[in-house]
Structure 1
Amino acid sequence: MAAFRQQTEAQDPASNTGHQSGPHDDAIDRRSFVPAWTRASQPIEALAQNWRLIACVFLPFAAGFYLSYLFRNINAVIAGPLTAELGLDAGQFGLLTSVYFLTFAAAQLPVGILLDRYGPRRVQSSLFVVAACGAALFALSESFLPLVLSRALIGLGVAAALAAGLKAIVLWFPKERLPLANGWMIMLGALGAVTATTPVEALLASIGWRELFLFLAAITAACALTIYLVVPDAPSAEPAVNKETVPGLRTVFTDRRFWRLAPLSATSIGTAWALQGLWAAAWLTDVERFDRALLVRHLLVMAVALCLGALLIGWAADRLRNRGISLRTLLGSLAALFIAAQLALIFRCFSSSYLLWAMIAAVGSGTVLSFAILAEYFPKELTGRANAALNVFHMGGAFALQCLTGFVIQAWAKDHGHYPEVAYQTAFAINLLLQIIALVWFSLPRQQSLTSAIRARRYSVTSASESVVRFGMKKHTTPNLAPHPQTPFMRCLTCGSIRPLGDRLMPMVARPAV
């Protein structure tokens, strides 16, 4: 059959040009019929292959990333019944929730190495067994320490959720479809934050938090089994790269640009995750005095804002980048807007807090910009390790800020079962101060570059004027109306370059008369 298709697919050149060959018309018609049937079957086969990839590769890993987002944000909804049953204070509950980020961050670099060595199917399925055990232990815990241990196991078990999914997409999907597949992966995963609002509240009211975590443990175990049985092995297994991994990480951690970006990304995105994962619900309960229905409605709006924020930030970055606005500028603007939203929240400048909390949640998808900036800093062979290194700061920052907020709030005594407003304002102000320092540190090279350029510009113009006067050319100078090329100074202003300007400012002198 294959030989027959190859023979019939060899078209007569005359048939493609409309050449008339009377005696051969019937033969041409017979030859052209089979290739048309073959070409018609090719889209069907391609469509079937795409659906197999979606069903056997994309959806299992998307389900895993969905569960990781659900586990990350679920404590905000179960905070009330959990603290009431076990008698936890704000500091203990903050540590309990934030330990998820601690183990998640600690596992990032080892997970990256394991994914390269063993493939996403084995790593993800094995770690999800750990997550299922952690969820079951959480449901059976009767005191604070077992809860912390089980929450740490959950964070460790879902540490590879996003990285394994992206690795599987790279291995199995065509290169030209990677951006679309990655966008859908993140979008579907962020729906876990949406589920951790109204749907979880409905299950909580009907079965309780213990049965809810047992249910999640069963789903996580089923997801691990599905990934192991359904997902095929990687098309090509890469050998261990131990000798290359250490120099690669050393290159990332010794780059000054990485250390300019990491503090701002960690404090801004980490604060957004910490607030959405826990302290937004506490603020709405203790400060705004919202009931459960209104509280869950706010959390739902924040979760939807997180999903839409990823799409909006990616679209804005693409549009503004084409107009000469760099990703660094956009990230700095996003951080400044985030700081302004928190200031408005702390001082309660608006009667309705929907918009402010939606803005805060949307900043949690700012990783779209951070990882894109890293891709500009490092070559392709280092981008994966650079992303893992930055993700350590994201998760570590979320852990530290979430835990710090709880200990600060705990310094105040409860008033009729609620912490006072000043406790939250103080804790949020500390986080805000850290973000302002990180933003100044991030913007400092550009400010220094612009200041140096302005001073050099003034000095060069003054020196040129003195030279003209010295050589007696002042009387004969006329305006130069020829079009001026863009100067290095203007390139500095538009591109935000922070390279040394000494060798670039030499040509910037006044032109002599023509």
Structure 2
Amino acid sequence: MRLSGLSDRYQSLLVMVIACGFCMYQFLLQATPGFIAQPLMDELGLSRTETGVLGSSLLYTYVLLQVPGGMLVDRFGVRNCFIGGLLFMMAGTLVFSGADSLISAIIGRMLQGAGSSVAIVGALCLAAAWFPSRYFPLLVGLVEMSAMMGGVVCGALIPELLQDSGWRGTLEASALLGVVLLVATLLWVRNAPKKEREEPTVNDQGASPPVQGQFLQVLGSRQVWVSAGFGFGLFGLVSVFGMMWGVSFLACLYPDNASFPAQGMALFFAGVSLGTVLCGWLASRGGSCRNTMILGSTLTLLLLLSIVFMSMASALMAVVLFCLGLVIGSYGLAFVAPEKSLPPSGLGVALAFINAMLLVAGQILQPLLGSLLDMRATSAGVTLPDYQVAFVPLLALAGIALVSSLLLRRA
């Protein structure tokens, strides 16, 4: 039924606000370990490698369940998947907050990842169902911006909570945020406007297409693969640099400015948030996705080189971090190709596949960089040259994004 007293226009806006809130929440949970890494290492006795494994463990279930999650969204609808996802995320956060070992902490993170797996896919399917297709690139940007705002909230809120309540209390407070989203989802989220709501799936034939057919549609699309490679490279930087090792790198770079690392990464995430919307707006206004992707990946490589290898004052670094986030925000354009090249019945699977590829880099490189830092660490700790060596794979990610953007077919 229609939400009481709301026109389709306002109902669609309310649904998207809640969907964006879901994405913000799941990204906040993803990014939190990077801001509580040192207390975790101290209390649980973790090495940097183990901390990297813990941080990336959410991504294991997140990535593995992307395509199954897309199928569930296509089959049972976004609303039901959001409800189940939030329950898993809250349960995982509480398990993580009570962890007394690496294994129990990983279990909590993996539960968080399972619940998070339907967030982006579900939000994008709601965007496709509730709005005309010409707005889809802009809505992709808004959805991704909301996710990045989770990183901004982390940078602004988590250090304060950490100081007042410790890392366990911080996680418990994070779990309470899920309750608000759960109530909002139960009350207001619907899968599609009334005239399209006879079936909960995005397939208008009344049943989900065969699984094999959905996979073949995705695997047979060159645009999907190239777009996935682009997103893999750019969002890999968000996962590895933004969510995990950026804070400690800045702490090493500016040891006399204790507040700057969290503030600098908050600026980075703010840049990514704004960049996703700007790039989506350009695409929806008739701009070239391919040219925007080429420009974004090129500037990403140049700015990353300056951050890792150039010495600069913290004020200038803050500007560069914001600009890096701004151009990395073009990663959201990776989701535009499937909406144009695939039928609606396979959209959930295609979006899930690309979203999974975006997170694979984090799975691999978060623990790898931790291992590289452990190998180079001395009794005095980790130095700037150690970070410069360990961050070479980040430059490779930017290169992958650039090559992928050049291979993309012109629209």
* TM-score (normalizing by structure 1): 0.70
Given that 1:327 and 1:373 are in contact with CA atoms closer than 8 Å, whether structure 2 keeps it comes out as no
CA deviation vs aligned residue, 1:390-434 (integer Å, no higher than 9, x gap)? 111101122212222112111112443x31222211121133135
Letter in 2 for 1:204: L
Give 3-state SS (helix, strand or coil) of 2:117's partner.
Answer: coil
The residue number in structure 1 matching 2:323 is 359
Counterpart contact for 1:126–1:224, Cα < 8 Å? no
Which residues in structure 2 correspond to 1:151-300 (within 5 Å)? Answer: 151-172=109-130, 183-232=141-190, 235-237=197-199, 238=201, 239-243=206-210, 245-300=211-266
Aligned residue number for residue 436 of structure 1: 399
Which residue of structure 2 aligns with residue 336 of structure 1?
298
Distance 1:363 1:433 in 2: 16
> What is the alpha-carbon distance in structure 2 between the residues aligned to residue 277 and residue 412 of structure 1?
22
Letter in 2 for 1:424: Y
Work out whether residues 269 and 363 of structure 1, in 8 Å CA contact, stay in contact via their aligned partners in 2: no
Q: What is the CA deviation profile of residues 24-67 of structure 1, one whole-angstrom value per residue up to 9, with x for unaligned ones?
A: xxxxxxxxxxxxxxxxxxxxx98666445545x33433322221
Question: Do the aligned partners of 2:240 and 2:365 also contact (CA within 8 Å) in 1?
Answer: yes
Question: Do the aligned partners of residues 58 and 264 (structure 1) sit closer, same or farther apart at CA in structure 2, a change above 3 Å counting?
Answer: closer
What do residues 249-284 of structure 1 show as CA deviations (whole Å, max 9, x unaligned)? 223223444444433331222123321101110101
Distance change >3 Å, CA 256–CA 117, structure 1 → 2: closer
Residues 337, 232 of structure 1: alpha-carbon distance in 2 compared, 3 angstrom cutoff:
closer
Look up the match of 2:270.
304
**In 2 relative to 1, CA 413–159 (structure 1 residues): closer, same or farther, beyond 3 Å?**
same
Following TM superposition, by how much is the alpha carbon of 1:137 offset from its aligned partner in structure 2, in angstroms? 0.5
CA distance in 2, matches of 1:176, 1:341: 32
Q: Residues 315, 121 of structure 1: CA spacing in aligned structure 2 closer, same or farther, 3 A cutoff?
A: closer
After superposition, the Cα gap between the structure-2 partners of 1:415 and 1:341, relative to the gap in structure 1 and judged at 3 Å, is farther
Partners of 2:73 and 2:224 in 1: CA distance: 24
Q: How does 1:81-120 map to 2 (within 5 A)?
A: 81-120=39-78
1:129 deviates by 0.8
CA displacement at 1:175 relative to structure 2? 6.4
Deviations 1:165-194 (A, max 9, x none): 333344455667766665544444432221
2:389 alignment counterpart: 426
- Inter-partner Cα distance in structure 2 for 1:67 and 1:165: 13
- The size of the alignment, in residue pairs, is 397
Structure of larger gyration radius: 1
Letter in 2 for 1:338: T
CA RMSD of aligned residues (A): 2.9
Going from structure 1 to structure 2, the CA distance change for 1:334 and 1:133 (only over 3 Å counts) comes to same
* Aligned-pair CA distance for 1:376: 4.8
Residue identity over aligned pairs, in percent, reads: 23
CA apart distance, 1:109:
0.8
**2:299 matches 1:350:** no
CA distance, structure 1, for counterparts of residue 358 and residue 125 of structure 2: 20
Look up the equivalent residue of 1:287 and give its one-letter code: L
- How far did residue 305 of structure 1 move? 0.9
Partner of 1:388: 352
Alpha-carbon shift at residue 318 of structure 1 (Å) = 5.2
- Per the alignment, in what secondary structure is the counterpart of residue 241 of structure 1? coil
Find the residue that maps to 2:394 and give its secondary structure. Answer: helix
The answer to whether the Cα contact below 8 Å between 2:248 and 2:261 also exists between their aligned partners in 1 is no
Task: Tell me the secondary structure at the aligned position of residue 388 of structure 2.
Answer: helix
Once the two structures are superposed, residues 312-331 of structure 1 have per-residue CA deviations (whole angstroms, 9 ceiling, x without a partner) of 22344456x55xxx422331
C-alpha distance after superposition, 1:446-470 (max 9, x if no partner): 9xxxxxxxxxxxxxxxxxxxxxxxx
Q: Is the aligned partner of 1:122 residue 2:80? A: yes
Q: Which residue of 2 aligns with 1:71?
A: 29
Separation in 2, partners of 1:424, 1:381: 45
SS of 1:366's equivalent? helix
Q: What is the CA-CA distance between 1:124 and the residue it aligns to?
A: 0.9
Larger deviation: 363-372 or 141-150?
Answer: 363-372
Residues 131 and 402 of structure 1: is their aligned pair in 2 closer, same or farther, counting only changes over 3 Å? same
Structure 2 regions of 5+ residues with no counterpart? none
Partner of 1:289, secondary structure, is coil
Counterparts of 1:439 and 1:363, CA distance in 2: 12
Equivalent residue, structure 2, for 1:62: 20
Q: Provide the residue aligned with 1:327 in structure 2.
A: 289
2: CA distance between counterparts of 1:268 and 1:226?
Answer: 32
2:92 corresponding residue in structure 1 = 134
Tell me which of the two structures has the higher relative contact order, counting C-alpha pairs closer than 8 angstroms and 6 or more residues apart: 2
Which amino acid in the other structure matches residue 385 of structure 1? Answer: V
Pick closer, same or farther for the CA change 1:186–1:210 going to 2, 3 Å: same
Q: Which residue matches 2:361?
A: 397
Contact 2:73 2:348 in 1 (8 A): no
The answer as to whether partners of 2:28 and 2:151 remain within 8 angstroms in 1 is: yes
Alpha-carbon contact 2:31-2:151 (below 8 Å) kept = yes
Q: TM-score, normalised by structure 2?
A: 0.86
Structure 1 distance, partners of 2:163, 2:265, is 17
